Each structure stands twice: as structure tokens, then as C-alpha cells.
């Protein structure tokens, strides 16, 4: 198992290239299973979660090849409808094969993804959506077992207790492309990753309207063809590097950062005193004055993303004053708080609310990553902490950030990867 050793106190300077979006790539790769023709997906980030998805697709019977950031999928003739526990248990997003396999093979058997350290993430909206268009679904022996000899379009309200669901929207949208008649998804997720999936499905021959709004309309077709598509760039990786520039008082050009996908993040960083300038290559981020505390509430897109909550908390932990961070998507997503406290952060939890009293400085310490975005927060804190920080269990960060240590090192960070003893 690897760990990162980071020596803090270096101001990041230079430029960094953002990779393709993992959260867009996974449902798009699953959607290739709807066709018998070959699909070519470009700008796919070579990450652990992507490799897991490719293994699932091969297990189902598709021919899959990855060279660099290009994935070629030839699904013709695949017949296995079961995604097993040993693969699905390693990545919750594996559940996004449910809709495509059900629509194509008329049945699907996908292991329940279960919960995770950021709190329960139920599949009730997935089940509700697919049942609404004619699927018979049961939960048996830890598997979602779905049968649908004929899917029929319907009007479906897909809102949940904590807002819309990206993966549930993806599952229903992909299944509805081959359903008879029109499906209308109300309270659909509006994230850029859903819009990217819809654009790919449209290239395959699907008829979809309103995919960047809370109401998506899908007119079912008899079949879909293979297509070529380039994945959007990762807005959360871009946001993480924006926060890295901010926390180190840096001056960084973030290439491929799309300001249209980053509105809430840009707003909060600007409110904190960070200058952000749009360029032809991306976004230029520079700290020009003292940081100011800001309050943050996570919300479904276009609100502030839950996947940036931990990184923003790291930034506020060194900002003089008091900040309040409210988590409304995953109220238990505060595993990083205790580890940040080991570095000197002063954070107090009250249910889904974190009160952050900015510390004058952080100090390096041995810490442990608990999930993907918590790992990013610890890295940000380590970049500005006095002394060295050892971050263990960094396999979490490898799930969502491609060669992050190389990118940080090129910006001047003192970081190295070592084997844990």
C-alpha cells in the first residue's frame, strides 16, 4: 500500500492540465452496452474506478480495449446479465450498468452497491425509476434482480430526500432510450455529467430533450448504434486545483477548467478573496489578498458540489475567522474532520453542520485518508502545513485523480509517493 509524504510551505506556481471526468466516463462507458456497434470513447481518465468499470463490462461479455485515454467497446453479442458482488462492491457507480443491461437484454442482475464511509447512499430512486417504465424488480440475496420483457415510457418524478440523483437519472435515461413511447423525468439531475451522457446517447441515435434542465424527455427508439465521443473535463479535479492554488497563496493556470461547470465553486473562492480569470486555455487562479471566511452549503448542481466540501473545509481551516459548512447531500460526510484536527484545524460538528475556526497555521502529522475527497482535503492541508505530512491509504485518491502527485510536483509541491512499511 502506498502513502504520500508532503512537505508544506511551497507556493504553487505554473500550469496544470485537468483530466477527463471520471463521473462522466463511468455512465457513458456503461451506455455503450445499449448498442451492438463499436463505440470509441476519448479523454477517459486512466483511474482505478474506470478500470473497475471495464472489468465489469468484460465480465458481461463486451470486448473492451483501452489505449492511453481512448476506450474502444465492441458489445455485439454479449449475453451475461449479471454484474457480480466482487466487482460492484469496489465501486458504487457500478450500479449504472443496471439501466443499459436491462434495456438491452430485458433482464439484469446487479449486486447491491451498499453504503460507504460518507454515509448511506440508497438505490430507491433507481428502483422507482425503472419500475415506472415497466421493470419488475426484486432484491434477492444482495442483488437487484430486474426483468422487463417490454419497457414503456412514463412520467417519473425522481426527486429524493436530498435532491436529485445523478446515477438514478443516468440509469432511467439509458433504459428509456429503448422503451416504447415517451419518458419524462421530473426532478432529473442537471449535472454536466448527465448532459454529457445525453450528448453521447444522442450520437447513438437516442431522442432526448431538456437534458440540461430538471425535466428530461426521452422518446424511445428501436435500436441504438455505436458512436464516438470525447468525455468532458473533470470539474471536481479543476475545483481541487483551484483550492490548492488558493490555500498555498499560489498563481496557477488550470487548463481545460470550464467556468460554465464551476459557477458555485468560483463564486465561493472569489468571495474568499481569490482572483479567478477566464483565459482561452482555462482559468487563472491567484491569491492577491488575505483570505476571508465564507459559509458553504452543499446542494445539487448548480449548487456547491458535495465533492468539493472537504477541500473547501481545508481552505477555511487556515482562514482567519469563522466559517460554517452545511452538508445537505450526504449529512455524514465529515470523516476528514478528525484527520484535519490532527494537523491543528479547529472544526466543531453539529449534525450536518461544521463550524470552522480558522487556525493561524497547520502542522504536518501522520494522517489517514478515508475516502476520495477526504484524501484531497488532506493533501491540500499538507501543502500549507509546517513540516511533513504522511498520508496513508492513498488508494482512495487514485480512484479519482490521475497522477496527482506528478501534477502537484510540476507546480512546485514537495511530494513523493512511497510504500507503507
Residue-by-residue DSSP string for 19-87? PBPHHHHHHHHHHGGG-SS-EEEES----HHHHHHHHHHHHHT-EEEEETTEEEEE-TT----EE-HHH
Lowest mean pLDDT among 121-130, 134-143, 287-296: 121-130
Instruction: State the pLDDT at residue 117.
Output: 54
Residue-by-residue DSSP string for 188-239? ----HHHHHHHHHHHHTT-EEE-TTSSEEEEE--S-----EEEPPB-HHHHH
Per-chain mean pLDDT for the chain: 95
Digit-coded pLDDT (tens) for 213-257 = 999 999 999 999 999 999 999 999 999 999 999 999 999 999 999
Evaluate whether 2-19+233-419 and 22-230 have a shared fold: yes
d(CA 176, CA 172): 6
**360 pLDDT above the threshold of 90:** no
Q: Which CATH architecture has domain 22-230?
A: Alpha-beta prism (3.65)
Largest CA distance in the chain: 63
Q: Which residues contact 302 (CB under 8 A, 6 or more apart)?
A: 190, 263, 264
What is the dotted CATH code of the domain comprising 2-19+233-419? 3.65.10.10
**115 pLDDT above the threshold of 50:** no
CA distances from 145 to 62, 96, 111, 136, 306 (A): 20, 14, 9, 8, 30
Digit-coded pLDDT (tens) for 58-91 = 999 999 999 999 999 999 989 999 999 999 988 8
**114 pLDDT above the threshold of 80:** no
Residues tagged active-site: 116
Digit-coded pLDDT (tens) for 19-55 = 999 999 999 999 999 999 999 999 999 999 999 999 9
Instruction: Report which of 231, 291, 221 is spatially closest to residue 53, judged by C-alpha positions.
Output: 231
Map grid coordinates 446515477 to a residue. Answer: 167
Instruction: State the pLDDT at residue 291.
Output: 95
Spatial contact of 401 and 377, defined as CB atoms under 8 Å apart = no
- Please, what is the Cα angle at 89 between 83 and 93, to 5 degrees? 75
Instruction: State the pLDDT at residue 143.
Output: 94
Query: Domain locations in the chain?
Result: 2-19+233-419, 22-230
Q: What percent of the chain has a predicted confidence (pLDDT) above 70? A: 98
Burial of 91 from C-beta contacts in 10 A (0-12 / 13-18 / 19+): buried
Query: What is the DSSP secondary structure assignment for residue 108, as one 8-state letter?
Result: E
Amino acid at each position: 500500500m502506498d502513502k504520500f509524504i508532503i512537505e508544506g510551505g511551497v507556493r504553487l506556481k505554473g500550469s496544470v492540465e485537468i483530466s477527463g471526468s471520471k463521473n462522466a466516463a463511468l455512465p457513458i462507458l456503461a451506455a455503450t452496452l445499449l448498442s451492438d456497434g463499436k463505440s470509441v470513447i476519448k479523454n477517459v481518465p486512466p483511474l482505478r474506478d474506470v478500470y473497475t468499470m471495464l472489468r465489469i463490462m468484460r465480465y458481461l461479455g463486451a470486448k473492451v480495449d483501452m489505449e492511453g485515454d481512448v476506450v474502444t467497446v465492441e458489445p455485439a453479442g454479449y449475453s451475461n446479465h449479471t454484474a457480480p458482488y466482487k466487482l460492484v462492491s469496489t465501486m458504487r457507480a457500478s450500479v449504472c450498468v443496471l439501466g443499459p443491461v436491462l434495456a438491452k437484454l430485458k433482464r439484469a442482475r446487479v449486486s447491491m452497491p451498499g453504503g460507504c464511509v460518507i454515509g448511506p447512499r440508497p438505490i430507491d430512486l433507481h428502483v422507482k425509476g425503472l419500475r415506472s417504465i415497466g421493470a419488475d424488480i426484486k432484491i434477492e440475496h444482495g442483488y437487484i434482480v430486474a426483468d422487463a420483457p417490454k419497457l414503456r415510457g412514463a412520467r417519473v418524478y425522481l426527486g429524493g430526500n436530498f435532491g436529485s440523483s445523478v446515477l438514478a437519472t443516468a440509469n432511467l435515461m439509458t433504459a428509456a432510450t429503448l422503451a416504447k413511447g415517451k419518458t419524462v423525468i421530473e426532478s432529473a439531475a442537471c449535472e454536466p455529467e448527465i448532459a454529457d451522457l445525453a450528448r453521447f446517447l444522442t450520437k447513438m441515435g437516442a431522442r432526448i430533450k431538456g437534458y440540461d434542465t430538471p425535466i428530461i424527455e426521452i422518446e424511445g427508439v428501436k435500436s441504438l448504434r455505436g458512436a464516438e465521443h470525447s468525455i468532458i473535463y473533470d470539474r471536481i479535479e479543476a475545483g481541487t486545483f483551484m483550492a490548492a492554488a488558493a490555500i498555498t497563496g499560489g498563481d496557477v493556470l488550470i487548463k481545460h477548467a470550464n467556468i460554465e461547470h464551476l459557477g458555485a465553486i468560483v463564486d465561493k473562492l472569489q468571495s474568499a478573496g481569490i482572483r479567478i480569470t477566464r483565459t482561452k486555455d482555462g482559468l487563472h487562479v491567484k491569491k492577491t489578498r488575505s483570505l476571508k471566511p465564507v459559509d458553504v452549503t452543499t446542494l445539487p448542481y448548480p449548487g456547491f458540489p458535495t465533492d468539493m466540501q472537504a477541500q473547501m473545509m481545508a481552505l477555511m481551516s487556515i482562514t482567519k475567522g469563522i466559517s460554517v459548512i452545511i452538508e445537505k447531500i450526504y449529512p455524514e460526510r465529515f470523516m476528514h474532520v478528525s484527520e484535519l484536527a490532527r494537523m491543528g484545524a479547529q472544526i466543531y460538528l453539529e449534525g450536518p453542520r461544521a463550524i470552522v475556526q480558522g487556525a493561524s497555521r497547520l502542522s504536518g502529522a501522520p494522517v489517514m485518508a478515508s475516502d476520495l475527497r477526504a484524501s484531497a482535503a488532506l493533501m491540500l492541508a499538507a501543502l500549507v502545513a509546517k513540516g511533513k505530512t504522511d498520508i496513508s491509504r492513498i488508494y482512495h485518491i487514485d480512484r479519482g485523480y490521475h497522477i496527482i502527485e506528478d501534477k502537484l510536483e510540476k507546480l512546485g509541491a514537495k511530494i513523493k509517493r512511497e510504500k507503507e512499511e
